[in-house]
Amino acid sequence: MPLFSSRAQTSVKADSSLPAPLLSWQKKPRTDLSHNHRRAAIPPWLINTGSLLIMGLLVLLSLSIGVADFSWSGLVQSLVSGSGNSDSALMLVSRLPRTVAIILTGIAMAVAGMIIQVVLKNRFVEPSMVGATQSAALGLLVVSLLFPASALIVKMSVATVTAMLGMVLFMGLIQKIPPTDFLMIPLIGIVFGGIIEAVTTYIAYQTETLQMLSVWQFGDFSSVLAGRYELLWLTGLLCLLAYFIADKLTIIGLGDNIALNLGINKRQITWVGVGMVAMMSAVVVVTVGVIPFIGLIVPNIVSRIMGDKLRRSLPAVACLGASAVLLCDIIGRSIRYPFEIPVATIFGVAGTAVFLWLLLRAPSES
């Protein structure tokens, strides 16, 4: 499955062995023009605006759902009068921080998935399939055991370093795999991540910290309050950095020779991308835990609609990633109200179904 559009590849593959009617494309300019028009039927700005509106509606719904009593009229009355009440306190302490944490997590994991897919030139990988999240959890467990009183920033730094080491080791494992064997890379990633997760579980079992480990392995926002999520704002800054270097990442995804001819330092941009993915994964694991499939599903959906130009598609990737996590969180809070089902469970079920659909679906025509 090629990473970028196959339009150019189709034109290169055409040769004299094809039937004559297929080679005489000059005789059918109307058909080609109508096909190109269908590809650009939905302007990118309209897709981005629609994604932002959907995210806004889900934000309002997320702020309205919860076990504690809450009314928007009481919140408005508190804002007008300038005096606090139970509704404003609940919004500032619980509802708003939780919603902001969900949005930042969805944006971070979706953008990280897009970056790692471009760097590895494979549409079937994401941070949890290259050992990033599993390595971050391992580093977090080790530093918690050796230095339990260390600051949160120290734990995040160690988790980032271990996540980067895990990704580098994975990239070394797949170096000999031919690029045409695109399904072998995610399979190796699943096995590689399973090995790291097994080592982590064994260490937690021997040290009687399985309960602490389970908090990092299953993404859940029920414990997010004001003062416990602010580290996620760092992922927002990293996503802005990804947007600024989006054109260079797009060129890296086109191939090594093209990047060299255009004067792009492939090694430097690759290391920057790997470092960003490692830090995003570490921050999310430290704050809310592992949430799978976001970085796999969202970039694939957006790329099928908008193509692979990152400067154009990253805003839609960010909005759709946030909307997907918001929707799963709303479903998890509503199915067994007043109890909650972790977001990782909801997204794991839905993400598995979409992943199988992506594997079995025939590639679209160029």
Taking only the tens place, the pLDDT of each residue in 6-19 is 444 444 444 444 44
Rounded to whole angstroms, how far apart are CA atoms 97 and 285? 17
**Number of domains present in the structure of the chain:** 1
pTM of the model: 0.82
- Exposed/middle/buried for residue 165 (C-beta within 10 Å: 0-12, 13-18, 19+): middle
Domain assignment present for residue 87? The answer is: no
- Domain membership of residue 68 (yes or no) is no
Instruction: Give the pLDDT score at 29.
Output: 43
Question: Quick check: is 90 in a domain?
Answer: no
pLDDT at 272 > cutoff 60: yes
What range defines the domain where residue 118 resides?
Answer: 102-360
Does 136 reside within a domain? yes
| DSSP letter string, 142-187 | HHHHH-TT--HHHHHHHHHHHHHHHHHHHHHHTTTS-TT-TTHHHH
* DSSP 8-state symbol, 4: S
In a domain, 52, yes or no: no
Does residue 299 sit within a domain? yes
Asked whether residue 210 is assigned to any structural domain, the reply reads: yes
Give the whole-angstrom CA distance, residue 98 versus residue 87: 15
Other residues' Cβ atoms within 10 Å of the Cβ of residue 329: 30
Better-scored residue on pLDDT, 48 or 53: 53
Give the model's pLDDT for residue 15: 45
Distance (Å, whole) CA 280 – CA 104: 10
Q: In this structure, what CATH number is given to the domain that contains residue 287?
A: 1.10.3470.10
Query: pLDDT digits over 342-356, tens only?
Result: 888 888 888 888 878
Residue 16: inside a domain: no
Q: Tell me how far apart the alpha carbons of residues 211 and 141 are, in angstroms, rounded to a whole number.
A: 11
Of the pLDDT bands very low, low, confident and very high (cuts 50, 70, 90), residue 3 is low
